[in-house]
Amino acid sequence: MRKQEIVDFANGLRNTYHTNDPFELAKIWGIRIIERNHGFKGFKAQAVKFRGYAPYIAINSNYTEASKKILCAHELGHIFLHDETLNYFADIGGKINMQSEYEANLFVLALLEDQARLKVDMTEIPPYLLQNIVEQSIELKK
């Protein structure tokens, strides 16, 4: 999917359902959210989507509410933008699918932030910077 199509899709969701809350959008679309205290290191969130099964998102409950919103939006991006997926937002030290991660991160920004508030066109933000913006916005509870 092209960058502008992702931004337009996210904006379409916001305008159609009058919300940018990924938890509310998941509920509207019948996507189950599971929050659990995951003890293994690096786990943040995971989207699971296979043909013939209802998709769901698992989120580590050890993150702040604002962080869980970002994590949910990222995983929702995977569900909406990619066919079959078993993705997780974790620090695993590899480059599994950089394009799908970039697209999910762009979806996060387009869903949660209004383009008019930014001083740069969100489709022009380089992938490494977009990933850094999203990653740096996620915090564990204190």
Question: pLDDT tens digits for 5-17?
Answer: 999 999 999 999 9
Distance between CA 64 and CA 70 in Å, rounded? 10
Give the model's pLDDT for residue 39: 66
Give the model's pLDDT for residue 38: 67
Question: Would you tell me how many other CB atoms lie within 10 Å of the CB of residue 112?
Answer: 19
- Low-confidence residues in the chain, pLDDT < 50: 89-94
**What domains lie within the chain, and their CATH numbers?**
3-136 (1.10.10)
Q: Do the Cβ atoms of 47 and 87 come closer than 8 Å?
A: yes
Give the model's pLDDT for residue 91: 46
Question: pLDDT tens digits for 68-93?
Answer: 999 999 999 999 998 765 555 444 44
Give the model's pLDDT for residue 49: 86
Quote the DSSP letter at residue 40. Answer: S
Q: Do the Cβ atoms of 142 and 71 come closer than 8 Å?
A: no
